[in-house]
Structure 1
Amino acid sequence: MDENLEEHDEGSRYDDPDAIGSTALYQSLSNLVFFSDDMYLSSQAQNLNLVDQFLMPLEYKVLRELFETDSTPADTHFLLAQSQMWIFAAYELLRNWRQRASEIIKWHANHGLEQKLASLKERHKADLHFGLRIRIEQIERVLNDEAIVAELDRQRRHIYIPFARLEWVRVSLAKHEVSGNPKQAALMPGYGRINSWCGSLDFELENGKYSMGYINRRDIADSIRDLDFTAEPPDDETIESFDAFMSGKGFEPD
């Protein structure tokens, strides 16, 4: 990074890209249960990591040109397109994992894991299917070690807030509406401003009642890199408070 950006970066909450491990995003995702033994989830995580490594230098390049020319750089349009695609990909990957984790937790609670396993094996017998084989092996892992269920629940709580923020901006970008409120049009879907610290494009988070601030692609990537599954996950009160803030529940305008 050049000297001008280094000086500007004294108060930044963003790490210099050179200080971030080239596979840090992938490694963090690999700590999620099932990622290490599912080649398809792992491949998606690698793709997300590779594009993140491509976009960070581009974001700083756009920021540098903005400082130098005081006008919107031409690459901003390409950055906007790539940022939105990355956000969509990150959302789908985490949504996929959350759905799988939730299903395992539900089947375990309902004593339905054995029945689900038998059903998958019957389908796999009729048609050799790599995806089904992976699901079968994952359920077998859980049946052999039910502590995995508790770990899935912990990890699901850990990613609850980062995923909710990701989902919020994804709905605005993709559906042009407020998350959880399809009748409420998004304020400025797809409009992003160049973040003055890292160059990533800031998108406003709003719920139709008030603004909750801004989020950019780099924020999302950092929130994944910073996941610490050894720490205590958010409790019910924290999650409920977060949900109320995001939805505007109980808010009365002046």
Structure 2
Amino acid sequence: MSKDDNYDYDEETYIPVYRPLKEIEQYELVNALGRLTFFKDDSFLRMQAHNLALVDLFLMDLEYKILAELIETERTPLEAMFLSAQSQMWIFSIYELMRTWKQRVSEIVKWSKAGGLELKIKYYEEMGYNQQGRLRRAKQLKQVLADKSIVGAIENDLRLIHVVYSRLEAIRVLMAKHELVGNPKSVAFMPGYGRINRWCGSLDYELENETAIIGYISRRDIADEVRGLIKATPMSEEDVKAFDLYMRGPKPNKLKDLF
């Protein structure tokens, strides 16, 4: 997977291009997430998306200020410690928001294919009182029961977010658990350590698998990739498998076969 798949680069200099802060609107991140099935009509998911968008703008401003001070003084500003802490908290938060949506709609697909929607609707509605959260879930399931094309839309959305979510999950697990995603026996190389990106000021973190450092990702990269979902198209199943293979890399005992 080339760098061009994750970032915009100048065609002549191959320097990453980040949009100026003044051109980025708060609604962009919210609208991008809002295109996902059953996200926009959930007021609490939207509320969390707005929170993330507000903090994103605040952190971008701080990132550029820290970068400017680094260039001027040739020393890492003390504020970089605060930026590091807030960047990790923002990454954890957007991961949990996307994980919540992903888990919820994945269950809807599973229940629909297993013929269990009516039982789940009954489960959500039989509380004896009006619990609005459960009633909202029941309403969504009734929509799927009435229109099975929604399942296809969800599956498209899951492929749409696959790269963004997989990279986000990988760095979140590295930071939070100090291990590799899907491998609880592993030990991360440098979990949570970031270097100031020379183009946007966000902290670059290493992405790794069992055999190598496979790239870098920053909080800004994640935010831009999420914003980019508004115009993105779903991956094919073949591309999903190829990307997953790239992320996993070869097993350590297979490295000798590469040389």
Q: 1:58 corresponds to which letter in structure 2?
A: L
Query: Mapping of 1:165-184 within 5 angstroms?
Result: 165-184=167-186
Q: Which of 89, 95, 105 lines up with 1:101 in the alignment? A: 105
Deviations 1:24-58 (A, max 9, x none): 10111111111222111111111111111111111
Partner Cα distance (2:188, 2:222) in 1 = 20
Q: 1:104 corresponds to which letter in structure 2?
A: I
Moved over 6 A (4+): none
Identity across the alignment (%): 48
Cα 1:10–1:20, aligned 2, differ >3 Å: closer, same or farther? farther
2:31 aligns to what?
A: 27
Task: Verify the 8 A CA contact 1:60 1:199 in the aligned structure 2.
Answer: yes
Q: 1:236 corresponds to which letter in structure 2?
A: E
Partner Cα distance (2:242, 2:250) in 1 = 10
2:239 aligns to what?
A: 238
Q: CA deviation at 1:68?
A: 0.5
Partner Cα distance (2:26, 2:110) in 1 = 36
Q: CA deviation at 1:87?
A: 0.3
Partner Cα distance (2:183, 2:70) in 1 = 36
DSSP 3-state at the match of 2:26: coil
Stretches of structure 2 that go unaligned for 5 or more consecutive residues are 1-12
Q: CA deviation at 1:128?
A: 2.8
DSSP 3-state at the match of 1:182: coil
Q: Which of 241, 246, 255 lines up with 1:252 in the alignment? A: 255
Q: Which of 154, 157, 160 lines up with 2:156 in the alignment? A: 154
Query: Mapping of 1:179-194 within 5 angstroms?
Result: 179-194=181-196
Q: Which of 120, 137, 142 lines up with 2:124 in the alignment? A: 120
Q: Which of 7, 18, 23 lines up with 2:22 in the alignment? A: 18
2:143 aligns to what?
A: 141
Q: CA deviation at 1:127?
A: 3.8
Q: CA deviation at 1:12?
A: 3.0
Stretches of structure 1 that go unaligned for 5 or more consecutive residues are 1-8
1:4 aligns to what?
A: none
Q: CA deviation at 1:10?
A: 9.6
Partner Cα distance (1:10, 1:211) in 2 = 20
1:195 aligns to what?
A: 197
DSSP 3-state at the match of 1:183: coil
Partner Cα distance (1:228, 1:244) in 2 = 26
Q: CA deviation at 1:121?
A: 0.8
Q: CA deviation at 1:111?
A: 1.1
Residue correspondences, number: 243
Normalising to structure 1: TM-score of the pair?
Answer: 0.91
